């Protein structure tokens, strides 16, 4: 196509920094270099055998055709059962939507609700895709920066100050990517009390990491804490993180029947339905044996503890202990302004991340990509040996700064 110019919605957004980082790692590996990769937000475990067996059985049984746009009855029932067990809220089938990953479900929710100029409150640090999803759908991201002192969480006062007549959504991600922060029940209640005064604001709760929780019992969900806001809450989840099923591309959302109907109308024109085979696998994941989830969380806990202890022992770096997910958000303010052995000044967290990659072959993602610097994010969804070796390499790299 001669003189191609992409549509405005494409020009408004940028490529995902995490995808770009992963691409750079692949390039270096193709050159034969061994990279200690701490960028990937993807479990290093294989999908459990009973889930794979369910997919194989579905293929053998000929379950390879189109399904309803809203998913198979089996998967709908599995999702409804899980939501009731985890939140105490009973959803009907027409309040459930299923898509090609939680990312697609969030995108469709924004597409179904935003008009030009509508505002979406996004607490920072944020998952890198939220602002660009809003921009792609003609909305306006309203970034509200958190602080380490508040646990990187949105406060009631900050929320109240951010709401305007144009606010359509607030997005809450708990456990958080990139910080691992988890909102407690009292914290959610305080936010809900603010939102009670603004009935035009809906709440999108991204709970894709909810199974990877290091606290006691189950983490709290907004719909559980504030059931009176049920019709305004759109809860998004999926099977990618908890069940090591990233490539299966299966996510779901639960909310008002009117919103779900609008999302399903879009889905009918976008992909008709999610993969039938992935749906069979997801139904087995959600309703089957949960031993894998419990065991993997304990593995992540050990990696988290090793990473945090090692990083906090490095002069100039510090990080808090994540309550969930498989990330650490590392404060690198103590190295900003220092010089590398080649005489280059570390002026930003991006400079430091590039320095680690070039000098020590450790790949991390700079915190400014998540809306708050000077930090960098590491993922410990990789082997403990890799985590420990990477921390040791980071320590050595920091020691060479002056």
Cα–Cα distance, 39 to 366 (Å, whole number): 10
DSSP string of 230-288? GGGEEEEEESTTTTT-GGG--EEEE--HHHHHHHHHHHHHHTSS--HHHHHHHHHHHHS
3-state secondary structure of 302: helix
Residue 28 has what pLDDT? 81
Residue 270 token pair: 């976008």
Domain layout of the chain by residue ranges: 8-46+292-399, 49-287
| Whole-Å CA distances, 140 to 177, 262, 263, 264, 397 | 21, 21, 20, 24, 39
Distance CA 53, CA 4 (A): 46
**b (16+ CB within 10 A) / e for 17-56:** bbeebbeebeebeeeeeebbbbbbbbbbeebbeebeebbe
What digits encode the pLDDT tens for the residues 11-54? 888 777 767 777 777 888 888 888 999 998 999 999 999 999 99
CA 40/CA 389 separation, integer angstroms: 16
Give pLDDT tens digits for 294-315.
Answer: 999 999 999 999 999 999 999 9
User: Residue 2's pLDDT is what?
Assistant: 66
Is the domain covering 8-46+292-399 a CATH 3.90.1150.10 domain?
A: yes
Does domain 49-287 bear CATH number 3.40.640.10? yes
- pLDDT score recorded for residue 193: 98
Q: Could you tell me which of 71, 69, 88 has the C-alpha nearest to residue 230?
A: 88
pLDDT average per 10 residues of sequence, the chain (402 residues) = 81 76 79 90 96 98 96 98 97 98 98 97 97 97 96 98 98 98 98 98 98 96 98 98 98 98 97 96 98 98 98 97 98 98 96 93 95 97 97 98 96
Predicted local confidence at residue 1, as pLDDT? 55
pLDDT for position 170:
98
Cβ atoms 300, 294 nearer than 8 A: no
Q: Name residue, tokens 């990491």.
A: 209
Looking at residue 21, its pLDDT comes to 73
Give the full edge-to-edge strand order of the sheet including 202-206.
96-99, 251-254, 233-238, 202-206, 167-173, 119-124, 140-145
CB atoms within 10 A of CB 361: 18
Alpha carbon distance 386, 399 (integer Å) = 20
91: its two tokens: 């959803």
C-alpha span between 106 and 121 (Å, rounded) = 14
Half-sphere exposure in the Cβ direction for 101 (13 Å, CA)? 11
């Amino acid at each position: 196509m001669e003189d191609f110019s992409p549509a405005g919605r494409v020009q408004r957004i940028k490529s995902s920094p995490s995808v770009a980082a992963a691409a750079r790692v692949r390039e270096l590996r193709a050159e034969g270099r061994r990279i200690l990769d701490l960028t990937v937000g993807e479990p290093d475990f294989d999908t459990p055998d009973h889930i794979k067996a369910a997919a194989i059985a579905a293929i053998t049984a000929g379950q390879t055709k189109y399904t309803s746009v809203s998913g198979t009855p089996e998967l709908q029932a599995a999702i409804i059962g899980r939501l009731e067990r985890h939140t105490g809220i009973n959803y009907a089938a027409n309040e459930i939507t299923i898509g090609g990953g939680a990312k697609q479900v969030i995108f469709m929710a924004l597409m179904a609700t935003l008009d030009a100029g509508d505002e979406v409150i996004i607490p920072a640090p944020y998952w890198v895709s939220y602002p660009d999803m809003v921009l792609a759908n003609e909305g306006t991201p309203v970034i509200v920066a958190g602080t380490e002192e508040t646990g990187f969480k949105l406060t009631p006062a900050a929320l109240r100050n951010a709401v305007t007549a144009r606010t359509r959504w607030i997005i809450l991600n708990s456990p958080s990517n990139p910080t691992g922060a988890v909102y407690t029940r009292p914290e959610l209640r305080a936010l809900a009390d603010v939102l009670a005064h603004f009935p035009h604001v809906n709440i999108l709760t991204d709970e894709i990491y909810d199974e990877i929780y290091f606290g006691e019992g189950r983490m709290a969900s907004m719909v559980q804490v504030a059931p009176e806001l049920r019709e305004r809450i759109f809860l998004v989840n999926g099977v990618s993180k908890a069940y090591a099923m990233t490539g299966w591309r299966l996510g779901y959302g639960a909310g008002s029947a009117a919103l779900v109907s609008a999302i399903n109308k879009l889905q009918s024109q976008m992909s008709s339905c999610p993969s039938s085979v992935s749906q069979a696998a997801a139904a087995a994941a959600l309703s089957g044996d949960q031993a894998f989830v419990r065991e993997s969380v304990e593995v992540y806990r050990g990696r988290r503890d090793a990473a945090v202890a090692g990083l906090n022992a490095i002069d100039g770096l510090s990080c808090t202990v994540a309550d969930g997910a498989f990330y650490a958000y590392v404060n690198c303010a103590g190295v900003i302004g220092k010089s590398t052995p080649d005489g280059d000044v570390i002026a930003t967290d991006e400079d430091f991340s590039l320095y680690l990659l070039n000098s020590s072959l450790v790949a991390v993602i700079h915190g400014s990509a998540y809306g708050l610097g000077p930090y960098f994010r590491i993922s410990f969804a990789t082997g403990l040996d890799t985590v420990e070796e990477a921390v040791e390499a980071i320590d050595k790299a920091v020691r060479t700064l002056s």
